[in-house]
Chains A and B, each alone.
Chain A
Amino acid sequence: MAVLALAVSLIAPLLAAAGSLAFRESWRRSRLALNAAAAVATAAAVGALTVRAAGGTPAGVRAEILPGVVMGLRADLAGALFATMTSVLWVVTAVYAHGYMRNRQSQGRFFGFFALAIFSALGVAFAADMLTLFVFFEVLSLATYPLVTHDGSPEARSAGARYLVYALGGGTALLLGVAGLRAIAPGESFVAGGHLAAAGTAVPALRAVFALLVAGFGVKAALVPLHGWLPRAMVAPAPVSALLHAVAVVKSGVFGIVRVVHFVYGPDLAARIGGTPVLAAVAAVTVLFGAAMAITRDDLKARLAYSTISQLSYIVLGLSLPNAVALAGALGHIVHHGVMKIVLFFWAGALYEELKVKRVSQLDGTARRMPLTTLAAVSAALGLAGIPPLAGFVTKWLMGKGATTAGSAWATLVYAGAGALAVAYAWPLVTRPFRRPDAERPRRDRFEGDPWLVVPVAVAAVLALALAATAGADAMPLDIAGRVAFDVFWRGR
């Protein structure tokens, strides 16, 4: 039964992809129905798997695909966390994309590869070992490429080329890292707390493999200096930027790092070989760099992109600290940030669709034109800036607290500094829409905008608020994150 849920969670998006590609271009409603149904089915399946995982018996399946090469899936708590976020947000995004892509071309290709990307992200979440994760990770890169270049414009194609270069480079590093890992510890799957310590391998080899794996994942996780592809990739249509580049693709990179540090090496070994200290330093630089760049960007999507770069490294910094609370905060932030960011990207897309607004400097007066959407966006922006008691604050607080407990005062300082910078770049997003515009905008007949765009924004914003409100409750993402952190640090001791 549980294996069935596992199968559904992967086959549904795959079917949606095939169907979307095969349907005629004009069959828009059928395509929406297919994708929405698949998204709901996937979310349900993932929910069932999460319950199983929480009960202590995660569903899994393994196969020897080639002699001596075993691959497998396993829906443990960490994977369930990532998968839940992805699948729930897919439902919302499918609706949004239907509205956004309405007058654009090649919708079949768009929805098809979108669903394929979801499929690969779920595969990443449920991979039971590094090789399987690598396979799905590469498929993710491939599936998202046509989405980045969707427009076909020279800008899009150049962004796509850059994306590819980064992805292939990262993929090569990963391939070598995974091969090296197999050489050290053949046939091992992920174990909370790591399994490498028992192998007794020489430190240089451990370091090399760690570096390769983290570098490979770090490209998608936008660690400086591997972040260059992300701002350019914002040329993609808003639903792509929203779900994939704020939620699924970049979080896959972060998730990969989580697996490396806590499910292969284990926090102790990673610290001992000097891996996590270096990682923490790189993350800290990225946090501050991203936030600083965000302040200087007038283009709205670019500002959000750099904010993503910065916030991703909140997570990476948190998970590099030798502290369970920090890890819990980091894992929780994966979800909280994802939900908040998606609201903001949806908002950016709606602004462009309705009012042709692309820049922060053009935001004046938009609140009057699109009040609901703006309200949703403001709540998300405040959350991003870490204003209590919103979702972004909760997880940031945990990470900062964990840093202090672990004795890494510098990390706490970084979080504090980042918080200040985040307020700086989020502030215009919160205040400008309410300012009186210099020139009066032409009145339009309808209130707000396309309902297909507004409803998803509102729903996502409500989700973010719910996450904040229920932060302490059982079965919420933060609780699951806490359990994962507990397993990592205290199981098998």
Chain B
Amino acid sequence: MSAPLLYALVGAGLVSLGAWGLVVRTHPVRKTVAANLMGSGAFLILVSAARATPAERPDPVPHALVLTGIVVTMATTAVALALAKRRAAASEGHSGEGASDG
């Protein structure tokens, strides 16, 4: 088994784990962790795609994709955690600003 294929399979495994966690877990922080896991799996698949070509140098395009993806995942994590924090605060005391329900 070649290295790229191994990485790709591991990536696929991480994706499945992450997806499962994202769907099954209820706590927002756990979901966020699962999402990160899924993202890492996706990046692994992409990186292995870079190496899969039999050429000398790895293909730079997937690396660019992965970099973008890492940034996006980081932003997602930030948003998710901020929302989770707000939500936790909201259920503790007063319901926060703009409490008119919709």
The short answer to whether A and B are in direct contact, CB under 8 Å, is: no
Q: Hey, which bits of chain B sit against chain A, CB under 8 A?
A: none
Q: Hey, which bits of chain A sit against chain B, CB under 8 A?
A: none
